[in-house]
Structure formats: structure tokens, C-alpha cells
Amino acid sequence: MTVNQNMLRMEFVDFKMIFIIALSLMGSVVNSKQVGEFKLPTNFNPFRYELNVTTHLEDKFMFEGIVGIHMTCVDATDTIVLHSNSLNIDTESVMVANGVQNVVKVDSVSFNPKKDLMYVKSTVNFKPGDKYVLTIPFTGNITDDLAGYYKSSYVDKESNQTRWLAVTQFEAADARRAFPCFDEPAYKATFKIRLGHKRGLTSISNMKFMKQINCPLHSDYIFDEFEESVPMSTYLVAYMVSDFAYIEADNRYDEVQFRIIARKDAANQTEFANNLGPKVLKYYEDYFDEKFPLHKQDMVAIPDFSAGAMENWGLVTYRETELLIDLDVATIDNVHGVAEVIAHELAHQWFGNLVTMKWWTDLWLNEGFATYVAARGVDFLYPEWNSFQVDTVQNFLSVLDLDSLQSSHPVSVAIGHPDEISQIFDTISYLKGSVLLHMMNSFLGEDTFKQGIRNYIHKHKFSNAEQDDLWSSLTEEAHRQETLDKNLTVKQIMDTWTLQTGYPVLKVVRNYSAGTVTLSQEKYLTVKSNGKDDKSCWWIPITMTTSRDINQTKVKSWLNCENNNLTTPLAKDNEWVIYNIQMAGLFRVLYDTRNWMGIISTLNNPTKYKTLPVLNRVQLIYDSLSFSHVGDMDYVITFQLLKYLKHEKEYAPWWAALRGLSPINNLLKRTPKYVVFQNYMQRMLSSVYSKFINMSVELDGFENIHFKNIVTAEACGHQIKNCTQQAVDLFRKWMKIIDPDNNNILPKELKPVIYCQAMKCGGVDEWNFLWERYQRSNLGHEKENILLALGCSSRKLLLQRYLNWSLDSSIIRKQDAYTVFHFVASNNVGFSLAKDFLYRKIADISEYHQPRSDRLGRYVNVIGSQMKTQEELEEIQSFINKSSCYLKGADLAINQTIETIKKNIEWTLKFYNKIENYMV
């Protein structure tokens, strides 16, 4: 794989989290009136649910149940309004009672399917302050939509039989698909759940199992009753019926029962998670100064799962690749990914579950904080990895890329129709949110930040909060500890970062004769707006260092909207000045040419380059490449800076350089100039690749392994002969091994690279051999690596068949359909095939992914992001216009695609014919 493909693979690591992390984009921003239009009226406040659900698997694939919703009337009304979607409800059996026996006559029950609303109208007004119980019987189908209450399956190895299970996935607005409810996060209530199912199966829910009850009507069915829950939002309710195995942890910390639940055939892959989980819980109890409030914590590996994982309180559900792992086979990237996803979901038990956002506008409070504190947790448990720095670099650069588009969205964004909610589970909510929290930690200090968070959780636990509540707690603590000026508030600073799209570029211009430096800011955009009417402005924390003072990290001052042109003294004889120490603030820095040349002189000195902190070397590399890409800086300066890499020994700067060069790679591939870029990359990589040239030598150390992986992937991707030949030879040697499934002789850390190169250089035999390994494997990570690699083939017929298979869930699981499309589309040979597949099959793709229509935006994005001519822009715009009915809910993904193509066209016109002049 090329480094670009390696980074794209990050989409599938979480997430919800960084699968969640990547290309799912936000729909059109709505105003407050539209938000109100789609929210429930506030006439009732539910405080307790009694939920009974009977699950029928294999024969019927349906469920039936009855829910009793206890609620308090807040405002006089004759109508109860709640949510219901795709449920069959016998309207004649709907009842309302005031007290135990006082039945309130129901006049009518009606529905608004477009808004998922159910109306229960009485003949009299409900009285404010009175308590009522609304009872609704319902039935529904257990679908394969991966949303609501859905079915999943696997093949049992011992019997070779298909086994079925039913499991919930309710975030963001799909609890209403499983039972009628007040399906908004602000409506917290307790839940008393009973689950009926056939004997021989087991059920689990959020809370601990209490007792089993025989079913009087069906002797082969039983009911499991669970403890009443703590108050929680409907999207966190969870339950499952299966024949899974339960593996309990050796819990050394407190009274919390901790279990991993999975297919019996995968029970041997649970040890890592069972060991890590309780330690992470303990870390968070200490970090938040708040005990975990439940008696048990289950984590379940689901064979078919749309996201990466889901933080249901006490019952976290995962895609198998995010929970199960065989340490003898898995790569360090796999291990780190599982650790981070577990840490992310368990962080939610406090930030999201204990304290929940009032509305989806503040989703970033959930996801940004879970992403940030998960990186802290993993770093605490595995300090030898130095993974916090790696995460910081990857998150920071990802945000810089996406948030430089006009069509990005604010961290805190208005949400109206429920269809829009799923689209903000993206890089902005997760990664920008995390980077902003890291920035706050830097300028407030660790003690202030941590105590402010603790105060926030203590104040709002078992309730709901919004962004301003967090700002208030942090401000109070900062003023108490005197880490923030009394005249300044966190809200004043941070609203500029969360309520507007994008981020600034800090412009640094020195007056060398006067001995001064002038700072100013403007919004950074990769496609410049026509006018100068953008009034965006940020509170920027100013940290700086000079060649004489390299350890100055304290915030010296703030650049803000009232003081947006700041001139300060700076000694004339300083070689250079660098701002944003340790890359703590979310902004780029653009220096004058003389300052850049001073920095480059130091970097190119093998005895001095380390005087610049690693994270600042990362930012210098990435900023210079980005500035040159949009024409703000001469490429001559940037390629001069990159020459220093010949003596760079750290992973993070190399990662930044290779990621920063990938846009040039994408714009030149499939063009006559690509050979020029290939030759440049071969020269650039020759020295560092020589350190890692032997694929069979396995290294120790998190960063060392990542360093070798990324350099080897680039070397093979840019056709360094030794690399490609080694990969092909090793793969063909493996093909000849007896029992290759149990005797994989390939170096485990480089398997993804070797698989891809073997597919690229091989033919039908190699492809079929690897496909057979996929079918036989019981390891989720191995299957994922193989799926990605199969898309590297150079054989068009194989790729065409592979694309067709992606829409057949009997061959490739639905959760992996986009993965297949993405990696075929990213392949030079596969691009045109994938584009044609999308154009021809848009109706089929849309139907296949229902009800998640936002996923269509990803398909369009991966194709459009590789286009670079006016003709291609017109072509895809025509396709979008013709397919508009299938692309509803993906409007900003479409807008970003169009903006990206325009950016690509602009670069091609400016630089295509002269880029070779710089790469000397």
C-alpha cells in the first residue's frame, strides 16, 4: 500500500471513532426554528420505562413487546407526542392511566411517518404535575439494517451451521425502531427490562441479570429480568439475544463484574480486552474522581456491526475487529487500535453516559472528549508506546486537512431532522473536538483542566449538559487556580473555536532592521474565497521560541479579534523564531521567507535539527507543503526544507512528510508526469529505506514498527524494486506452504503491505489464494487486512467481480461493502471501474445501505477526490444531479467533494507543468 492507502485504512479503526473517524460528513446546517420543528414538545417528562420484549429468531425474525412509560405532565395538553418508526402498533390497545386504576380515555392514536412521531390524543386535558403511565403494545421485524433491533449471524465451526443473534444499535435516533419512546438525549429515565427468548439462548442488557421466569404461554420460551437501570437516554439502551460465550475477567479493582462476550469460536481472542478493560475503568475512576456507577460492564463482539463500537451503558457493543485480538498474529497497529477503541468507549461511561449532551448539537462533547481521554488512557497504560504523541500528530493533521474547506462545519452545529444526526459522527466531532481539548489542557494547565472536568461531571452527573456548562466549570476552576486572567473566560476563548467553521493561519512577519515581529491572523482555506468578507476570528494562544531560547512553552499573550495586529520586540540577531510550541494550538503558522530560510538552515544541519521539538518539525513540514499546495509559499522553499529528512530519525516527521506529499501523488497518478514523482520519492526514500530493507527482520517498539511499516509501504508503492520483489517472493513462498492458514510465514507487521503488493503484481492464482485465506480465517483483523489487499489487484475482471460481491451480503458482510469499494477506487487500475460501478449501480447501492443514506456520500467522495479536470467536474456534477434522490442526507459530503475537485483543478492548472522543476 502507498502511505495514502495506509491512512485511508484509519477510517475503519473505530469508530464510530475513526472509521469513525473520517469521511462521513455533515448535512446542511439548519437554523434554530428548524431544530424546534423536529424536536418533541416539552409537555411530558418520562422518568421510568417498563420494557418487555420477546425475540423470535430463525423462524420469524420478529419481536413483540409492550412498553409502559411513566411520565410527568409539565404543561397542560390533550396529546402525548413521542417517537415510533417502523413498528406495528395496535392502536386500539394503547392505554393511558393516571395512578393505578384511573384510566384516561384515549380519543385517537395517529402517526407522522416523515417525522417518526406518534400522537396519543385524550378526550380530556392532562394536568401539569400529575403522573401518567402510557402503555403501548408493539411488534416489529428484526431486520438486517444494522440499526434499531437487527439480526446478525455467523457459522459455527463445530456444526457448520449458521447461528443467529439479535442485537440493538440505537444511537443516534433508532431506539424508536425497537419500541415507542421519547427518543431524544435530554429525556433521561430509568429502564426496567425483561427479555423473552427461546431456551438454549441467553440475553443481556445494560444492567445485571436478576432472575429467570418461565413463560406460561410457551414452554420453550423464558424471560430474563434485569435490575432497574440508572437514569439514561434512550440511545444508550441495549439488549441482545444470542448463544454467545461469556468470559469473565479476573477483576482486581472493585465490585464491578467485567465480561467479554463473543462467538464461542472467538473466545480465545478475548484475553487482551479482558485484561485491559478493568484497568481502563480504574484509570477513569481516578481521572474523573467518580466511581463507575454500575455493578457490571459487558463488552460484546458483534459479527455484523455498522460502526466501530457503541458505548451503551454497561453493555458496550463492538465490531469484532475492535474488541477481539490474537496477540500472536495481530500487528502493533491492530493492538493499539483495539486498546484505543476500548478506552474510547469506556470513557463514554462518564462523558456521554453519566453526563449527556442536551441535544446532538453538542455531540462533540461526547466524542471529542472520549477521543482525547482515550489517548491519555492508552498512553498511561502503555507508556512505552509513546502513542499520545502519535495520536496528537495524526489527529492534528487530519483536522487541518478537512477543516480547511469552506464546506466543513462547526464543532457545535445545529441539528434539525434526525437524518442529519448520523452525518456529524465525523472528523470534526471526534478529532477536532479532541484537538481543542488538548489545546485547552495546554493553555489552562493539567491541574486546572482535570479539576474543571471533575467539577463538571460532579455537578451534572445523571443529567444533561451543554457546551456552556463545561466552559463555566473550567472558568471557575481556572480563576480559582489563577491560571486564567480574571477578566477572561473559557467561553470567550473557546466559542471562537467551536461555533465557527475552520481555523486560522497565524502570519508572522519580522522587521529585521527594527528588531520587531508582527502577528496577524486570517481564516485558512485551501480554496480561497472571492471576497475579503470573512470576519472569522479566533482567540489564539501565543507561544514561541527562538534559536536562542528553545524551551519557552508558556502562553505569552493572546491574539484576538480586538488585537489582531500585534507587534512586539524581537532581537535582530535571532536566526529564526517559531510559534505554536509543541503544536498545542489548532492553527497553521506562515513565516516570512527569511525566517523560513533560517529554520531550514538549522534543520539541514545534522547536529542542530533536534533543537527544534519533534512536534514543531512535524508542523513545519506539513504547513510548508500545504502553503505551497495553495500558492501561499514557493515550492522551492518547501522542497529545500524536505531535504533535511535524510538525517531525520523520528517517525512522526516522516509520517507528516509522506502524508503531506500524498496530495501531489494523487494529482499526478494516472498522468504522464507520475514517473517524475516516482523518481523523486525513490530518491527521497532511499536512505531511510536502507535501514528497513530486510522485510523479514522484525523490530521492537511501537514507533520503530510504525516507521518501518510506513517506509516499506511507500517504497513498495513507489516501485523500489527490492521492496516489490521481496514482497512477491515472500508471498509466493507462503503459497507453497502446507496448511498456509496455520503457517503464515510472512512477517506479521508487514502483512498488509505484502498482501497488497502480491495482488498488484500477481494474477488469478494469487487473488484466489488470498480470498480462500479470507474465507477460512477466524480472525477479524486478518480478514480486514485481506479485504483491503484484494482491492490492490491490477486485474480488471477480478476487481469488477469484487465490486459486485460488495453488494452481496452472503459473500461480503454489509458492514464491509464500502471498504471494498474504497480500496478498489483508490487503486489506479480500479478507479475507472469503481466510478462506473457507482454511476451504474447508485440505485442498488442506495437500497443496500438503507436506512443510512448518508453513506452514499462516502462513495461519491472517494471518486471525486481523485478528479482534477473541468471535464471530470462536469461529469460528476451531472451524475449528482441525476442521482439527487439517492443522495439525500449526504449534501455536505457532496459539497466537499465538489470543493475538493475545484481545489484539484486549481492546483493542476498552477503546478502540473512545473512541479518537476522543484523535485530536484
Q: Which residues are catalytic?
A: 345
Sign for the pseudo-dihedral over CA of 462, 463, 464, 465: negative
- DSSP code of residue 361: G
- DSSP code of residue 86: S
**Which residue, 810, 865, 799, is CA-closest to 837?**
799
**Which residue, 611, 700, 622, is CA-closest to 654?**
622
Q: How far apart are the first and last CA of the chain?
A: 25
**How many H helices and E strands in the chain?**
28, 31
Distance from C-alpha of 602 to C-alpha of 232, rounded to nearest angstrom: 56
| Residues 6+ away with beta carbon under 8 Å from 143 | 61, 149, 150, 151
Q: How far is CA 195 from the centre of its chain?
A: 32
**Which grid coordinates are listed for 496?**
471562537
Task: With H, G, I as helix, E, B as strand and everything else as coil, classify residue 907.
Answer: helix
**Which grid coordinates are listed for 386?**
509513546
- DSSP code of residue 177: G
Task: Give bridge partners of residue 162 from the DSSP assignment.
Answer: 155
Q: How far is CA 590 from the centre of its chain?
A: 29
**Which grid coordinates are listed for 49?**
420505562
| Residues 6+ away with beta carbon under 8 Å from 784 | 12, 321, 816, 819
Q: Which pairs from 151-155 meet CB under 8 Å and 24+ separation?
A: 151/57, 151/61, 151/304, 152/302, 152/303, 152/304, 152/305, 153/303, 153/304, 154/263, 154/265, 154/303
Task: With H, G, I as helix, E, B as strand and everything else as coil, classify residue 378.
Answer: helix
Backbone angles phi and psi of 316, in degrees to 5: -80, 130
Task: With H, G, I as helix, E, B as strand and everything else as coil, classify residue 48.
Answer: strand
Cis preceding-peptide flag for 172 (omega within 30 of 0): yes
Distance from C-alpha of 713 to C-alpha of 690, rounded to nearest angstrom: 13
Report whether 77 contacts 41 (CB < 8 A).
yes
**Which grid coordinates are listed for 623?**
504547513
- Count CA atoms within 13 Å of residue 194 on its CB side: 17
Task: Give bridge partners of residue 193 from the DSSP assignment.
Answer: 51
Report whether 726 contacts 753 (CB < 8 A).
no
Report whether 418 contacts 34 (CB < 8 A).
no
- DSSP characters for 152-172? EEEE-TTT--EEEEEEEE-TT
Task: Give bridge partners of residue 569 from the DSSP assignment.
Answer: 516
Strands 77-83 and 88-89 turn out to be unpaired
The single residue listed with the C-alpha cell 458492514 is 815
Spell out a b/e string for 21-36, using b for 16 or more CB atoms within 10 Å of the CB, else e: bbbbbbbeebeeebbe
Report whether 899 contacts 906 (CB < 8 A).
no
Rg, Å, the chain Cα set? 28
**Which grid coordinates are listed for 821?**
469499494
| Residues 6+ away with beta carbon under 8 Å from 292 | 254, 256, 281, 284, 285, 349
Distance from C-alpha of 204 to C-alpha of 223, rounded to nearest angstrom: 11
Report whether 727 contacts 1 (CB < 8 A).
no
Report whether 92 contacts 51 (CB < 8 A).
no
